[in-house]
Structure 1
């Protein structure tokens, strides 16, 4: 479906597509005759990313790579780029972001796309305050945290540790958004717009001729169909992670998809949802997950030590809302939100 406004000249026009098991919507300032080509660019790009990086496709490059653990494997330039980013953010987060978690996701029962998984195992108590999630035992669990990839950028090869498999779901969506926005904004010179891939999004320019910011809804973690507040941005990015959206029951107990790499179990922190905003959409996604996994105290301490220019809103198991950021952002950037706890940078 295309939404075209004032189509005789340049205007904000939008489209939506489905890829990577999520909805991808975007709005671009363009002429009517130019927009179909711009929309096709997004469609082809996200289809390409899905084909290379999906762990649910037998023909994906990632699936083939995971079947070659223990030996050097030639990889594509795109795979090299993402794996280099993954290594970098693993160092920045002191191992909290770890791509070598696929075996743990599988042990937790996340063996298929969530669209299929939820039809079989979705727990009816998804909105409960339950803090304790199911655990499983595996002799590799205690060892996996210390394993690392052997990545050679000159030969464009990688060697996975024996028994290890990669999951790039924690970074590839935001990376794809960043790449596409760069194409639109800097190469095609589109003055304003946004790209949103399942909550990982970047906006640039303004939402109106009068310079109004883009208003981004912040999902209510306990009532996903409703927004609990708004984020006002002219240029910037935002990402959200939640343990409530991808949660299911299994014979081992209730599970979710955010794995703590220290234990290789679903994380047990008090944070059920975190939204981070800042200049880089990849960092936003990384920090939302790190804070959900580590919890408020450790997560915010690490964020303050490692990155600047980022703010966060967190929701806890006790249904309390925390803000971390600049005092000037309250009411200006973060709108219509009620905070029980405010932590200034």
Structure 2
């Protein structure tokens, strides 16, 4: 088998793709993986005015509309993550994010001045209607998939590239890494876990991803901070979450669940450890800022 690797940017984060496949197929499949991530971002991004997600949000309150398979899977996964997390992960936080000033790509938001923000609790996913090929948003409800989009993109792309003939594939988007298969020269993928509490992002552990635990996600209240706020919003308050955990890294069986679990870890803090473990996840939770 041959190894092909690609690096770039996607979904506001660093993109890393590794593909193991026979002969020239490795290079071709690596290019295809990068293209597929770009297509998902163009569909799912709330920062692209022409994205299908933004068109769906603009039609809130106007009944069900037919959506692409990619958008349908995103919305369905958001609904599943909301139920699985007991409501801690809720894509209807769009109003809260806009109220807090996260209304543009983060590079621009980080340069903005503080503004007064009225809390906007998430209305909840329960009234979002998902048909066989359609989605209907209630009036006044918009979706912001947040990190679920990165984790799910890893799921989609690794599934497709593996099915297309790869012997092993890894897709990393920011703090989310999803794999399929294992490299021919190893029994698992090894992924570095780093500590956001230190400026040098110190490596503190090496994690092993296997076919049963094929995904890891890291979320932190120390990244994507602006005007005294951070990007992890508690859906019940509409305000940035507050707990005894500053960084959550979670191993799980798929990307979207790893991402949802990391959000639970930040919102519930150390009290979530047993809850996550009982649901088949392996959490690594780090306390408040150090240094």
Q: TM-score, normalising length from structure 1? A: 0.76
1:241 aligned residue (200, 219, 233): 219
Across the aligned residues of Structure 1 and Structure 2, the Cα RMSD in angstroms comes to 2.4
User: Are residues 135 and 264 of structure 1, via their aligned partners in 2, closer, same or farther at CA, if it must alter by over 3 Å?
Assistant: farther
Whole-Å separation in 1 of the counterparts to 2:210 and 2:235: 35
Any unmatched runs of 5+ in structure 1?
A: 1-9, 124-133, 321-345
Residue-pair matches, total: 287
User: Are residues 86 and 11 of structure 1, via their aligned partners in 2, closer, same or farther at CA, if it must alter by over 3 Å?
Assistant: same
1:1-345 alignment, distance < 5 Å: 10-74=1-65, 75-118=67-110, 120-121=111-112, 136-138=117-119, 141-142=120-121, 144-146=122-124, 148-154=126-132, 156-185=133-162, 187-207=163-183, 209=185, 211-222=186-197, 223-235=199-211, 236-249=214-227, 254-297=228-271, 299-305=272-278, 307-308=279-280, 310-317=281-288, 319=290
Whole-Å separation in 2 of the counterparts to 1:259 and 1:13: 37
Q: Secondary structure at the match of 1:101?
A: helix
* Greater C-alpha Rg: 1
Q: TM-score, normalising length from structure 2? A: 0.89
User: Are residues 135 and 122 of structure 1, via their aligned partners in 2, closer, same or farther at CA, if it must alter by over 3 Å?
Assistant: closer
Task: Find runs of 4+ consecutive structure 1 residues off by over 6 angstroms.
Answer: none
What is the Cα deviation at residue 137 of structure 1? 2.3
Whole-Å separation in 1 of the counterparts to 2:125 and 2:157: 32
Contact 1:56-1:112 at 8 Å conserved across structures: yes
| 1:243-283 deviation per Cα after TM superposition (whole angstroms, max 9, x unaligned) | 1111111xxxx100000011111001111100001222221
Contact 2:4-2:30 at 8 Å conserved across structures: no
What is the Cα deviation at residue 25 of structure 1? 0.8
| 1:140-193 deviation per Cα after TM superposition (whole angstroms, max 9, x unaligned) | x35x34563332413x332222222110123111111111111222x2232223
Any unmatched runs of 5+ in structure 2?
A: none
Whole-Å separation in 1 of the counterparts to 2:188 and 2:145: 32
What is the Cα deviation at residue 242 of structure 1? 0.5
